[in-house]
Amino acid sequence: MSPMSQAHIDSRERISEAIWNHWRLNNLPEIGRTVEPLRLQYVSLTDFPRYLPDFVYDRVTGLHLENISFEPRLHPDAAVAQPVDLSLPRQLNNTFELAHFLQRFPNTRSLRLISEPSAGLDPQSSVLLNLPQWVSSTLPQLNELALINQNIFLDQMQMNHFRNMPNLRTLDLSGNRVVSMMPMDLDWLHLDRLVLERVGLHRWPAWLTNLIPNNIRELSVAHNNLTELPGWILDNPPSTGNQTLIDLRGNNLSRQTAIQARINESVSSRSFRFLMDTPLAVQAAVNMQLRQGAELIAVLDEWSNASSSLSIPSEHTLAARRQIGAILINHWRTFSLGQIHDPLRFADIALVDFPRNLPEFFYRQVRHLHLNRITGTTAELDQLLRPMTELSSLEMDGHVTPLGQLPPALLELRALRSLSLNDQGLLLDQQHIDFFSRLPNLERLELENNRLGAINSLSGLRNTGLTWLSLSNVEMSEWPTWLDDLVPGQLTTLLLESNLIHELPENILANPQSQSHTEISLLNNPLSEETMHRAQMSERYGHAYSFDIEVPPELAQEWRENADTDDSDDSTSDYTSDGSSASTPDLITVEPWLDESNPLSGERRAIWEQLEAGEHADHLLELISSLRHSADYRNTTNRAAFQERVWRVLAAVNQDPQLRMTLNAIAEEPVRLLRDNFTCSDGVLLEFNQIEVLVFTRQTVQDVVPERRGAALFRLTIRLYRLSELDAAAREQAGARDEAEVRLAYRTHWAGVLDLPVPPGGMLFEAHAALRPGELDTALLRVQTGEQGDPFLSFAAQQDYWVGYLREAHPGRFDALERVYRTDLTQLTDEFEQRNINLDSPEYEARIREFEARFKNQQATLIRELTNAEGLENQ
């Protein structure tokens, strides 16, 4: 017999020591019997004794096999051995060796098989073949199984082998590979603990959601690449008797995900608990919210069961209080999660059941209040509203009993900008107008579905910021003269829909030229044919009014035919539609954009003349000239700021010929549409706003201060994402409506809340957007939700300036991926050359595509991780 190598000697010594340790720990009652597994580390199974007493095998109930091999192997401190040929026959032989070894331990209930971590995804690099199949058939009685770092591709076929292990309670598959988007059906799997650490998850798989909380008590997905969790898990629904502990440590979860998980798990009897890494700043914010939530819940618990010395609350009262309490707690949770503009909504409640003394912080959190068919007195309504000092909008719709008097508390709400008192049984008279006139910040007033009483004047409303007034369905039979107090002038939108108006007065039909503009909606009124015709024919650029009316199709056709014979060029409406005759282009001149008192006027005139004389600016200058009909120009209060916005664009294109060519090309299509009357001033303003955003983005990237680069570029990316997602929501919801009007309405409404870049100041035809109740709130929620998850991360990864910054800030992380990728390619090429396979072969090309796809996926994962980290640091 030839002498043994040192590797054989070392392996056998470790095996001998492991067997004696196991015997000593498990078989000496004098020192206390344990259930320690047989631990074999850095050994070759070929060195394990072929014959041992039966009691040795019988008393082994657990096996811990770490970094085992099937041939003599060096200890990690020794010299590195040459790579082993992992051909299919060798893999099969190794697997047979392992199965034969495992069969010698019939009482084993626990198996842990651990190898060194590997970045490879190729199953051919595995030492063993079809490991789940062999283990499940050899040791079906296991209740604990760990197959760690075994290069197993965890698909449906591999997972199905575990169905043959009915006693399995713990399954650890860490360090293998799962494809997040690959569907699987594992509803049969019931475990106390499932471990999927380091399996390459970058999205939460749907099949995993189906397993919790009913099938799995503990789930670990630690140390993956998750950035967000499914909404259902974050919402953390009430438990139906089962609860799952989810370990998320080592994942790059967004700030909002961490906050939402922490806050929602604080409510008792939820379906999920979480282990996660929470930055100190985030934990401090969560702790503050939880303290407030605990205070609110304590107050509500005391109130819901409170009784007086005179009476004990009825079951009906207790149920009503519980319902109101649940709504209040849900609003606190929503606010705590960052949705600070989500309305507090109540329907069909009695104000007598509302708690009297909520914590002060809660009242301050209510920005928008919606009340539908509530029951109560004016005093009770006043008591409800008075503490809500930050209330920005109040919507009351429907009534049980008429609102006899307006609550005085409204006069104390200095933040109130929007007031809707629809269908409140009001008889609108002068005292109501005088009351509204005392709300200095009021911008929007809706009084629909009430009745019109005696009103003398609206002049008091000039002391407010009112721009939108709705008097739809108030039984108005003629145009009241008191409306002339606000038009043309203050109001940009006046809704008189569903009334009984037959004629319009001469001063309205005359539609004079005006710097101001009011859109008047007269839908569903019995207007005379002459009134409709004169109203439509009166609409021209720069005139005071545009009218939204329903014209019968036959009349519209007759008017179009008559218009075709009219040579007049000044019959172009502010709001145009398909089929209108083409308009004469406006005179292209710099004059509307200059303020001679401004010392920059001379320089700016020179810029215009240079652009006019040069190339690739004609469409852009024509687009800008047409902007003098837009809402932002016609609003004299905003005009100076709008002029500055225009000059920022012109100065930028004057300095950058390439940018000038790009923006001129962008302007070409809206200019053509305007000439052909297929778009209106709002459409042109929207296109200019798109141009502004491009210039703003370019200048922000160029001018950013180096020491604040990360924070500034992250903030830019957030703002651009919000704009992009808001536009996407508008496009999806527009339907048959004018898409440009819907997009512009979304932008103007949420510009301040979302901090949109260079937002438009206003629009001329908001009524044409025909926004539905709740539509704007839904769009805002979509933007805010996406900002905290995958939609924003995907958007950020598409921004070249942001990816460029990440590469510069973290070069080592990207270089490491590049080195591994290049090394893999070199090794692959060497392998094929050694196998004498042509590099043009389909097999080689397929492997190359595999490597490229993996490299791109790794880069994308890294970009998501770093973007999330920047968010935690800069938000």
pLDDT single digits (tens) 657-713: 999 999 999 999 988 888 877 778 888 999 999 999 999 999 999 999 888 999 999
Catalytic residue among 259, 680, 751, 779: 680
Look at residues 397, 403, 469 and name the one whose alpha carbon lies nearest to residue 433. Answer: 469
Query: What number of other Cβ atoms are within 10 A of residue 211's Cβ?
Result: 18
Query: What number of other Cβ atoms are within 10 A of residue 777's Cβ?
Result: 16
User: Angle at Cα 131 formed by Cα 125 and Cα 134, nearest 5°?
Assistant: 145
Look at residues 682, 688, 677, 566 and name the one whose alpha carbon lies nearest to residue 624. Answer: 688
789 contacts 228 by C-beta, under 8 angstroms: yes
Question: Which of 64-73, 637-646, 780-789, 810-819 has the weakest average pLDDT?
Answer: 64-73
Residue 400: DSSP 8-state = S
Look at residues 392, 380, 386, 382 and name the one whose alpha carbon lies nearest to residue 360. Answer: 386
Look at residues 538, 581, 583, 535 and name the one whose alpha carbon lies nearest to residue 561. Answer: 581
Rounded-to-integer distance, Cα 190 and Cα 209, Å: 13
Query: CA distances (Å), 416 to each of 28, 228, 441, 447, in order?
Result: 80, 36, 6, 16
3-state SS record for 144-203: EEEEECCCCECCHHHHHHHHHCCCCCEEECCCCECCCCCCCCCCCCCEEEEECCCCCCCC
Query: What number of other Cβ atoms are within 10 A of residue 267's Cβ?
Result: 14
pLDDT band at 502 (very low <50, low <70, confident <90, very high): very high
Instruction: Classify residue 37 as exposed, middle or buried by CB count within 10 Å of its CB (0-12, 13-18, 19+).
Output: buried
Instruction: Classify residue 215 as exposed, middle or buried by CB count within 10 Å of its CB (0-12, 13-18, 19+).
Output: middle
305 contacts 275 by C-beta, under 8 angstroms: no
CA 670 to chain centre: 31
Query: CA distances (Å), 176 to each of 148, 199, 301, 791, in order?
Result: 7, 5, 49, 27
pLDDT above 80: residue 49 = yes
Tens of pLDDT along 96-122?
Answer: 889 999 999 999 999 999 998 864 444
Query: CA distances (Å), 854 to each of 124, 692, 797, 820, 861, in order?
Result: 16, 38, 17, 11, 10
pLDDT above 60: residue 228 = yes
CA 603 to chain centre: 44
Rounded-to-integer distance, Cα 40 and Cα 65, Å: 5
Residues contacting 570, CB < 8 A, separation 6+: 540
Residue with tokens 């908001």: 766
Beta bridge partners of 350: 375
Look at residues 245, 243, 176, 180 and name the one whose alpha carbon lies nearest to residue 206. Answer: 180
Q: In this predicted structure, what is the pLDDT of residue 569?
A: 46
Is 54 catalytic? The answer is no
- Residue 670 tokens read as 């809206």
The percent of residues in the chain predicted with pLDDT above 90, rounded, is: 58
pLDDT band at 3 (very low <50, low <70, confident <90, very high): low
pLDDT band at 872 (very low <50, low <70, confident <90, very high): confident
Domain boundaries, the chain: 1-177, 179-277, 279-425, 468-574, 575-703, 810-874
What b/e sequence results for 286-322 when a residue is b if at least 16 CB atoms lie within 10 Å of its CB, and e otherwise? beebeebbebbbebbeebbeeeeeeeebeeebeebbe
Average pLDDT over residues 596-618: 90
Tens of pLDDT along 749-759?
Answer: 999 999 999 98
Q: In this predicted structure, what is the pLDDT of residue 586?
A: 64
Instruction: Output the pTM of the full model.
Output: 0.76
Rounded-to-integer distance, Cα 23 and Cα 34, Å: 10
Rounded-to-integer distance, Cα 576 and Cα 560, Å: 13
pLDDT above 60: residue 446 = yes
Beta bridge partners of 803: none
Average pLDDT taken over every residue of the chain: 88
525 contacts 497 by C-beta, under 8 angstroms: yes
| Ordered DSSP codes for 509-545 | HT--B-SS-EEEE-TT----HHHHHHHHHH--TTBSE
Residues contacting 206, CB < 8 A, separation 6+: 183
Rounded-to-integer distance, Cα 53 and Cα 30, Å: 22
Beta bridge partners of 170: 144, 193
The backbone torsions φ and ψ at residue 288, rounded to the nearest 5 degrees and listed phi first, read: -65, -45
pLDDT above 60: residue 578 = no
